[in-house]
Amino acid sequence: MKRYFITGLLIWVPLAITAWVLSLIVSTMDQSLRLLPESVHPHSLVGFDIPGAGALLTLAVILLTGLVTANIVGQKLVRWWELLLARIPVVNSVYNSVKQVSDTLFSSNGQAFRKALLVQYPRAGSWTIAFLTGHPGGDVANHLTGDWVSVYVPTTPNPTSGFFLMMPSEDVIELDMSVDEALKYIISMGVVAPPSPRLRKKNARTAIADPAA
């Protein structure tokens, strides 16, 4: 009986958590409907609320923004908007800081979080997974001798919080592991270990040799 109960938990717990996260995301995105007049809300048009309508609106606005700003006119509007924000003291500092981080993380040609590393932290002999974020810059680089890298060490099981460290490049080991695999490894607290590079290459050769497998 106990084995059956645990088996049922292993099925339902991931499904329940996934449904809860998706529900939280959709309900948060649904708040965008508040920006529209009451007369165009779903319950005013069809007589009842439509779950996810605000999420679709949010996705449509993001897509439309990307389409508009992808051309020359849109880029000029963005520059004009940034110049306007630059004239507001507090907003300027907050906006520029957030924009620099978002550009680094989400830019297609950025290098942040592109590599998973193995580092010794919080003491020598204790190893953990970190992500390469770049190289020290500004006046910090003037006080460091040799080749250094900037790394982000996430916490478990919440990788959105962590520690920023600057370490000598010879003290970090680049892993043959994708960022997604490393994040799964961290979030699962080491339970979901990624396949070894040797096994990954063996599976890739098997798939090529037998496409129907």
| 139-177 residue pLDDT tens | 998 999 999 999 999 988 788 789 999 999 999 999 998
Q: What is the pLDDT of residue 208?
A: 45
Query: What separation in angstroms does the CA of 3 have from each of 6, 9, 10, 188?
Result: 5, 10, 11, 22
Say if residue 188's pLDDT is above 50: yes
Mean pLDDT of 12-21: 85
- CA atoms of 9 and 15, how far apart (whole Å): 10
Position 112 scores a pLDDT of 64
Tokens of 26: 């959709």
Least confident interval from 45-49, 121-125, 169-173: 45-49
| Best CA proximity match to 55, nearest among 13, 21, 27, 79 | 27
| pTM, to two decimals | 0.56
Q: Edge-to-edge strand order for the sheet containing 116-120? A: 162-168, 148-154, 127-134, 116-120, 173-174
Alpha carbons 43 and 34: distance in angstroms, whole number: 13
Q: Residue 99 has what pLDDT?
A: 75
Contact 183, 159 (CB under 8 A): yes
The alpha carbon of 199 is separated from its chain's Cα centroid by a whole number of angstroms, namely 27
Hey, where are the domains in the chain? Answer: 23-90, 116-191
What pLDDT is recorded for position 128?
A: 94
pLDDT confidence band for 26 (50 / 70 / 90): confident
Closest by CA to 173, choosing from 134, 130, 137, 122, is 130
Q: Among 168, 104, 172, which Cα is nearest to 133's?
A: 104
Q: Is the pLDDT of residue 77 over 90?
A: no
Among candidate residues 87, 36, 86, the one with its CA nearest the CA of residue 57: 36
Confidence of residue 51 (pLDDT cuts 50, 70, 90): confident
One DSSP character per residue, 73-121 reads HHHHHHHHHHHHHHTSHHHHHHHHHHHHHHHHHH-TT--TT--EEEEE-
Reported as a pLDDT band with limits 50, 70 and 90, residue 201 is: low
- pLDDT at site 107: 60
